[in-house]
Amino acid sequence: MKCEQCIVRQFNALKSLEKNDLIRISGCKTSKFIQKGEVLFREGESINGVFCIKEGVCKLTKLSANGKDQIVKLVVRGDLLGQRSLVTDEKSNLTAIAVNEMEVCFIPKSEILNDLSKNANFSLDMLQDMAKELRIADNVIVDMAQKSVKQRLADVLVYLNTTFDNDDKGFLGVTLSREDYANLVGTATESAIRILSQFKKEGYISTTGKQIKILDLESLKRIE
């Protein structure tokens, strides 16, 4: 599909590009499907472009000193991935792994870098995106430092519930392993499992295999 016609563009900074620029970019972008578990890029690699997420979800992880992967954030449909690589020449600080089947477009850095200096709206939009990401990151820092594991896990469930449409049976729209949950909140896998079991016992959620259904959102929000 051509960028000019792609609705996903409306969700990110690409919406600020002029039509002729979009056509040019459309001509050099590559589009691909990525399977669950596949790696888009690894920590330490050069990205040299941005991914526009057309469909699916991926996790951005970083390997900590103790050998555990921390999931820093989830990147979803409509997001741009790798903006930082556009403005710095550093290698990626994070690894990106598909959480479910994804469709992404890749736009080479060389092709889009000019737009940053020529199109003020575009670069302002990028600035606003980054400012927003920065605010969210600051909030995550505070939560990590101050909230209990149980609170953080409840937060994640609430976040998933509000960010993704539930499936037709009412399960969360994204299916994560217990290890993913642990890596999102920064705890041991066993601890995440234990707390989810407790939430189940208390009637806040129900589970079928990996699938989780929120039964009592308000109680999850109130956990402390």
Q: Which is nearer to a second copy, 110 or 121 (CB)?
A: 121
Q: Does the footprint of DNA cover residue 23 (CB under 7 A)?
A: no
CB under 5 to 8 A by kind: which of a second copy, DNA, none does 144 bind?
a second copy
CB under 5 to 8 A by kind: which of a second copy, DNA, none does 162 bind?
none
Q: Which is nearer to DNA, 32 or 210 (CB)?
A: 210
Of 67, 72, 60, 51, which is closest to residue 96 (Cα–Cα)? Answer: 60
Cα–Cα dist 224/215, whole Å = 18
Q: Which is nearer to DNA, 13 or 153 (CB)?
A: 153
Within its chain, how far is the Cα of 119 from the centroid?
26
- Residue 161 Cβ vs DNA, minimum distance, rounded to whole Å: 18
Of 75, 79, 89, which is closest to residue 45 (Cα–Cα)? Answer: 89
Of 187, 160, 195, which is closest to residue 59 (Cα–Cα)? Answer: 160
Query: What b-and-e string marks burial along 137-156, b requiring 16 or more CB atoms within 10 Å of the CB?
Result: eeeeeeeeeebebbbbbbbb
- Residue 159 Cβ vs a second copy, minimum distance, rounded to whole Å: 15
Number of Cβ within 10 Å of residue 213's Cβ equals: 15
What binding mask, one character per residue, do residues 204-223 give for DNA by CB under 7 A, x or -? Answer: ---x-xx-------------
Positions touching a second copy (CB under 8 A) are: 62, 64-66, 68, 70, 72, 83-84, 86-88, 90, 93-94, 116-118, 120-121, 123-124, 126-128, 130-135, 137-147, 185-186, 224
